[in-house]
Amino acid sequence: MSEARRKLVVGNWKMHGSHAANEQLLEGLRAAGPLPADAAVCVPFPYLAQAAERLARTALQWGSQDCSAHEQGAYTGEVSAAMLADFGCRYAIVGHSERRALHAEGDQLVADKAQAALARGVTPIVCVGETLTQREAGETEAVVKRQLSAVIHTLAHCAGEMVVAYEPVWAIGTGRTATPEQAQAVHALLRAQLRAATPRADQMRLLYGGSVKPDNAASLFAQPDIDGGLIGGASLKAQDFLAICRAAVR
Ligand code: PEP
């Protein structure tokens, strides 16, 4: 069944970049030949137009790092899914652990954001993951299932349309990667949870994120339920990001 899933590698630039620096990075990405994976970069909002222009007519897609749960209205500072769709966004990351922690985003808000994105044809990349304290307390399974459950219930029959990213918080930006076995164990749990919710579970892509680099990507991507990666730091260097994309073997 897993043979049907083409790998997906998504860069999360976070709050990095400038118009000039992005020109270089996007040019490096544009120069890539065919890749064995689908690939996208999620850029800061002000640079969506730049990404859309520079990546047009390439195999690379682009997206945002967040999306409002609201359609439109008096929500100063927010960006709606309709606006993202206007810029040709294919993906919107929602529920990244930095937003959950720094902006107090709860499970239901994340689910509402995922629904708002899908309603506009933007695929939500829903992030779930436990903190180190939760892992050490043996709570990993309960935490990720609770986070995913909120989204499954809100999306209902559309749940099979999302991409899920398992990102253990202790592995993000720390250089401390989950072992392929640790990551696969959680991905298998998530896949089982999705199977109980949607007939599309075996076609859905489950990404791993947390200090993925060119030298560890292949072993992570070789796991049966890991269908690609969400890449932070290493997505800021074209050569590293492309090397990670090339580590996708199916
Ligand atoms: C991320 O920000 O989603 C991430 C996985 O970051 P890093 O690859 O730098 O750990």
pLDDT in tens, 137-193: 999 999 999 999 999 999 999 999 999 999 999 999 898 989 999 999 999 999 999
Alpha carbon distance 20, 74 (integer Å):
32
Q: Which long-range contacts (CB under 8 A, 24 or more apart) does 3-6 make?
A: 3/250, 4/202, 4/203, 5/202, 5/203, 5/204, 5/205, 5/227, 5/250, 6/37, 6/38, 6/205, 6/250
In the set 98, 105, 130, 167, the catalytic residue is 167
129 CB near ligand 1 (under 6 Å): no
62 contacts 88 by C-beta, under 8 angstroms: yes
| CATH node for 2-246 | 3.20.20.70
Check pLDDT > 70 for residue 1. no
- What spacing in Å lies between the alpha carbon of 73 and ligand 1's midpoint? 32
- Spell out a b/e string for 70-90, using b for 16 or more CB atoms within 10 Å of the CB, else e: eeeeeeeeebbbbbbbebbbb
Predicted confidence (pLDDT) at residue 232 exceeds the cutoff of 80 = yes
Q: In this structure, which long-range contacts are made by residues 130-134, counting pairs with CB atoms below 8 Å and at least 24 apart in sequence?
A: 130/168, 130/169, 130/170, 131/169, 131/170, 132/169, 132/170
Q: 65 CB under 6 A from ligand 1?
A: no
Q: Which amino acid is at 249?
A: V
Using DSSP's 3-state secondary structure scheme, residue 18 falls into coil
Taking Cα atoms as reference points, which of 130, 124, 131 lies closest to residue 110?
Answer: 124
Q: Whose CA is nearest to atom 8 of ligand 1?
A: 232
Q: What integer is the mean pLDDT of 109-133?
A: 98
What pLDDT, on the 0 to 100 scale, is given for residue 33?
81
Task: Specify the pLDDT at position 248.
Answer: 87
* 98 catalytic per annotation: no
Domain ranges of the chain: 2-246
Mind listing the pLDDT tens digit for each residue in 24-49?
A: 999 999 988 889 999 999 999 999 99
Question: Contact at 8 Å (CB) between 214 and 5?
Answer: no
Round to whole Å and give the CA distance between 59 and 39.
Answer: 8
Band (109; pLDDT cuts 50, 70, 90): very high
Q: Are 154 and 116 in contact (CB under 8 A)?
A: no
